[in-house]
Structure 1
Amino acid sequence: MLESTSWIEKNFSESPDAIFIFQNDALLISNQAAKTLLENYHFSLTYLCSLMQSVLAQQRNDTDDCFHCAIKEVMPNRAIPVTLKTADNQKLAYFLVVTPLDDAQHTYSLTLKSNAMLQRMDQVAQQRKLVQYVNRAHEEERKRLSQDLHDSIAQGVYSAIMGIRHLEPATAATDQAAFRSQAKLIENQLYETLSEVKGMALDIRPSVLDSFGLVPALKALAQRLEENTGITINVIARAETEHLSEDVQTVFYRIAQESMTNAIKHAKCAEINLILIQHPHLISLEIIDDGSGFDTQQMGSFNGHSLGLMNMNERVKALQGTFHIDSSVGNGTTVRAEFPVV
């Protein structure tokens, strides 16, 4: 029991949150973080007490803001924002949490939580979630490539090998027509396999993006998809992209690739317009299709394919850009990404 008490005292003393315990309006005890705040910031215990009484009054008010608030009913404490000033007049944001400890003796705990620390913890959690998502996306992409290699490339090579085995010297001497026909079949099979290998290479990393830049890469992508699907794809490019970083160009390309692929696979569209425009201080990419569209509220979790809509959104935000999807059932979809430029 004594050891447990020691652990509790140690946790209280070393907590990163500032904790004050009051009885009525008198301070009974505070931890080290709370003492540091009192030493460095310009606020009084009277100010804390007035905030405490305000929070307690709100907690006791049954008609505070809403009469039947489901969230309020399950929240034992109420947090309010507090701004503190340092000696050099800098402002730091905190949240104040009041916890009743003993109503009969009017004893309460006040906890000041750093807003910056909470935001940082939230950012770390979001980053971990994104890393997990990206890892899953990479594994799905590897799985797809593995299946393509097995089902398409390997089978094509195996068919060519079987064809070569039938090219016996005796056949060439006795039946030239059959020999040439078999050789032509093997040649066609190898050309088809080569075309599939090139297509996979383009999906993984288009060489034209590295060699010639974003606009030629987008036009080549649109032309390839148009030839493969018969869907009309118009590319309007009114932007200088040489000054864009490699990361921004890659993200623009992947957004165009993902958006057009989604439109082709799922939207039953007849036309896609890809518009890359440079504005004052920003450059924007829009992919507009006339397909079936979807309910963006139901797709709020951004469940997509390949990179997925969620991954597109996160990759754009990571480069200080903005990402937006405008769609409704029966009215097509517009995907828009913007990045600031100097």
Structure 2
Amino acid sequence: MPTDTDNELLEQYFKNTPVAIMIFKDEDLLMSNKLAQCLQKHLQFDPHYLVQLAKSHDSKESPIHGCCSNCAICMKMSEKAMPVLAFSTDDEDPANYYMTYTKLDKTNHLFALTLKNYGAVKRIDQLADKQKLNRYVSKANEQERKTISADLHDSIAQGVYCAIRGIRRLETVPTKDLHQLTQTIENQLNETLTEVKNMALDVRPSVLDNFGLFSALRSLATRLEESSGLSITVVGNAKPEQLSTEVQNSMYRICQESINNALKHANASEIVVLLSQHNHFINLEIIDNGDGFETSETESFNGHSLGLRDMSSRIRALNGVFKVHSELTIGTTITVTFPVQIEKGSLSHE
């Protein structure tokens, strides 16, 4: 049995809970908590109107919101939710609520009506979505760190170690072989230096800071075209400098990952990067003529890349739109869209 202390705690919880609750017997209001009283006073609604609304949704003649009128399951539910028309107020925008109707005691005709604000529920949902996006972005960042760590260990560290071993041999190598050994060490250090520069370009290209997104994409295309032998073209009419630095960084990263994925897995012979501007948004499209894939069956390209899901999360976290369209034997198009404010008139990119 509940003690007096338990009853006091329950009473305090009922009074102060952040949800408007009203308890009725038949159509008479027995009690309501503080928030319900405040809402009734501020919004000036009639509790009996809410009772009639709840009973109309509960009747067999009227379908429950989201249910059929003769659904046996719905008729047995002790709790039902329904929308409530916006309450008009003089000093602010209409307040939209939904109401929950809960039967407490059918014999004694006791029931509760609970009012919840749509805006508050929406904010909670947005917060949950933001937390989910943050987890995806954090996962993507961690994957990038692992990739950099692996490259440093497997490539850079090994190159430096080989050069150190060569230097140690200088004291013991015969004079006639000295020139050849120093040349080998120099070649090894030059190769390691090139790999360090390539890693720096992958992590953060200086051309992006100095000359902007268009130049950075063209530099990326030239570098990957030389190493792969594929045709990679960058075209467009956009002025991406209107976008924030963070957005431009993400667009560059998505383009880089998309091209690398196409080179590794698509068997493409041509890749086109299109950066176009419209009245209210800028589009980045990476189009290849490779094998294509079933988007419904593929969540990521492979474990070494960001993956489609993480790409999408990275863009959504910045309020952008990420789309993937792929057809078998036709190719794949990855599209990234961000809103932008521009002046009216034609656009061109020199």
* Length-normalised TM-score, structure 2: 0.86
CA distance in 1, matches of 2:190, 2:128: 48
CA contact (8 A) 1:22 1:29 kept: yes
CA distance in 1, matches of 2:34, 2:26: 22
Report matched runs for 1:139-158 at 5 Å: 139-158=142-161
CA distance in 2, matches of 1:59, 1:139: 57
Of the candidates 148, 163, 175, which is equivalent to residue 160 of structure 1?
163
Report matched runs for 1:176-325 at 5 Å: 178-299=177-298, 306-325=305-324
CA distance in 1, matches of 2:222, 2:76: 57
* Length-normalised TM-score, structure 1: 0.88
CA contact (8 A) 1:58 1:64 kept: no
CA distance in 1, matches of 2:309, 2:76: 31
CA contact (8 A) 2:136 2:314 kept: no
Helix, strand or coil: the match of 1:283? strand
Deviates more, 1:237-246 or 1:247-256: 237-246
Of the candidates 126, 130, 145, which is equivalent to residue 127 of structure 1?
130
CA RMSD of aligned residues (A): 2.9
Letter in 2 for 1:252: M
CA contact (8 A) 1:206 1:217 kept: yes
Q: Percent identity?
A: 46
CA contact (8 A) 1:282 1:341 kept: yes
Distance change in 2, residues 1:272/1:57 (3 Å): farther
CA contact (8 A) 1:294 1:329 kept: yes
CA contact (8 A) 1:302 1:310 kept: no
**Which runs of 5 or more structure 2 residues have no equivalent in the other structure?**
342-350
CA distance in 2, matches of 1:153, 1:73: 69
Helix, strand or coil: the match of 1:242? helix
Distance change in 2, residues 1:272/1:35 (3 Å): same
- Identify the residue that residue 116 of structure 1 maps to in structure 2: 119
Of the candidates 77, 80, 83, which is equivalent to residue 81 of structure 1?
83
Relative contact order, higher structure (CA 8 A, sep 6+): 2
Offset from partner CA, 1:129-181 (integer Å, 9 cap, x none): 22222222222222222221111111110001111122237622xx1xx2222
CA contact (8 A) 1:284 1:339 kept: yes
Of the candidates 68, 91, 96, which is equivalent to residue 93 of structure 1?
96
CA contact (8 A) 2:22 2:112 kept: yes
Offset from partner CA, 1:295-341 (integer Å, 9 cap, x none): 33334699975444334333433444322222244432211122222
CA contact (8 A) 1:55 1:98 kept: no
